[in-house]
Amino acid sequence: MKTSLFLAVFVFAFLHSPLRAENWPHWRGPFMNGSTMETDLPTTFSSTEKVVWSLDLPGASAAVPIVWENRVFLTVVDESKSELLAWCVDRADGKTLWKHVVGKGDRKDDRSNYAAPSPVTDGETVVYFFGNGPLLAFDHEGKEIWKKDMQKEFGEFAFGWTFSSSPLIHDGKLYFQLLQRDVEANGFGKPTGNESFIVAFDLRTGRQLWKQDRPSKAVMESREAFTSPVVHVHNGITELLVVGGDCLTGHDPASGKELWRWGTWNPDREPFWRLVPSPVSGGGVILACAPKKNPVYALKAGGQGVLDDSALAWVSSSKEVSSDVPTPLFYEGRFYILNGGRHTLNCVEPETGKVIYSQNLDRYVDKKAKFEASPTGADGKIYFMNHLGHVFVVKAGDKFELLHDTAMGDRNERYVRSSISAAQGNLFVRTDSKLYCIGD
């Protein structure tokens, strides 16, 4: 009798709970490619419908909400006080669990601010980085474990724009990349000799484990990368992918040693090709998006040494298949490449580069608003939004089908850049002024 009752309760709970509940530990999700196996997510919603809760934010940020079970971690700038905040709220109701002022400052340009990098967590430790140098680790209760000032430790950042790169956690290590100009940029950095490198720290203690130089033949602004490192696994081999400075490289996560390098997209050394989209892998290839209306390059995974163009699987030929800012999504065997400047979503076959569809979105939204937030794949759908906070929901697959679109931003939104997180049955939509938790 007890066994029958237990089985009945178990079956009832199974049938009345989400089929798959995932966390969102990294700015590109649990697989670092923009996708999740999360199911039972809302298709239709608005700023007033299916809102579980909303949170007023004291400043804009491109940082993605990071979700682990009942906690949501946010990198925030309080614009009125010029303060940088490490913030944690309850996923159930949006109430603040803890919040720390971890630095001062706001921005050095009118496009972004110091709170643009996203936090990252492994379920026990959460790490925040801010673009003027603070790097801090907390436990999930908000107790500070360790902190560093990356500019005091490694020198003033040499960037013309406000620096942003999100840290990465893998196998007990915290990875951080700094790809910058070798000479000063608008008065920032040393006159000469600024280093570009990748560095790994012990996640629990903050102790530096290794530092790997990342040389580049790029010049001026083309040495600047606002990309973030990701982990890639191919044929059982794990690599750390880094893109910027006119090249894409693969590294040994244990030592930082460079395993391979490809970089032929800028043979004439155009000096103003700063890079924003991070690398993404899937279907046996690794994508690198050349900036400013230039092609997307698909490198065959598994290379060694210095690679030439024979290592390329394909190069996009259409002007539509390009991405200056959004990082592409790999989901259910397809790449989804969002051309933010031309307002076009492209569905691309990984092995060949064949464009399955290329859909312009101007008919649905203000033609002046760019798309710079990266697309998210979850529950058979693609979620993304533009600068005005206008959210699109598209059916995943080989035919474009718009399922829903809605304006989540208010009339003052200008530069909404945060990607949508999907976790624990909810969508987390961050505009310049609010964080929405959306759910059925």
Residue 360 lies in a domain: yes
Q: What is the rounded distance in angstroms from the CA atom of residue 282 to the CA atom of residue 351?
A: 9
Residue 42 lies in a domain: yes
How many separate domains does the chain show?
1
Q: Are 226 and 111 in contact (CB under 8 A)?
A: no
pLDDT at 10: 34
Q: What is the rounded distance in angstroms from the CA atom of residue 78 to the CA atom of residue 91?
A: 21
Full-model pTM: 0.94
Residue 320 lies in a domain: yes
Residue 212 lies in a domain: no
What's the domain range around 400? 34-61+316-440
CATH number at residue 401: 2.40.128.630
pLDDT tens profile 389-429: 999 999 999 999 999 999 998 877 788 999 999 999 999 99
Residue 398 lies in a domain: yes
Task: Considering only CA atoms, give the Rg of the chain.
Answer: 21
* pLDDT bucket at 259, cuts 50 / 70 / 90: very high
* pLDDT bucket at 229, cuts 50 / 70 / 90: very high
Residue 425 lies in a domain: yes
Strand 305-307 and strand 258-262: pairing? parallel
pLDDT tens profile 143-179: 999 999 999 999 999 999 999 999 999 999 999 999 9
Q: What is the rounded distance in angstroms from the CA atom of residue 272 to the CA atom of residue 221?
A: 5
Q: What is the rounded distance in angstroms from the CA atom of residue 415 to the CA atom of residue 110?
A: 10
pLDDT tens profile 351-392: 999 999 999 999 887 778 899 999 999 999 999 999 999 999
Burial of 259: CB neighbours in 10 Å, binned 0-12, 13-18, 19+: middle
Residue 295 lies in a domain: no
pLDDT at 20: 62
Residue 403 lies in a domain: yes
Query: What is the amino acid identity at position 165?
Result: S
Percent of the chain at pLDDT above 70? Answer: 95
Tokens 């900036």 -> residue? 291
| Token code pair at residue 427 | 């969508």
pLDDT tens profile 311-329: 999 999 988 999 999 999 9
Q: What is the 8-class DSSP label of residue 24?
A: B
The maximal CA–CA distance of the chain, rounded, in angstroms, is 79
Please determine, for residue 7, whether its predicted confidence score (pLDDT) is greater than 50. Answer: no
In b/e form, how buried is each residue of 206-244, taking b as 16+ CB within 10 angstroms?
Answer: beebeebebebebbbbbbbbbbbbbbbebeeeebbbbbb
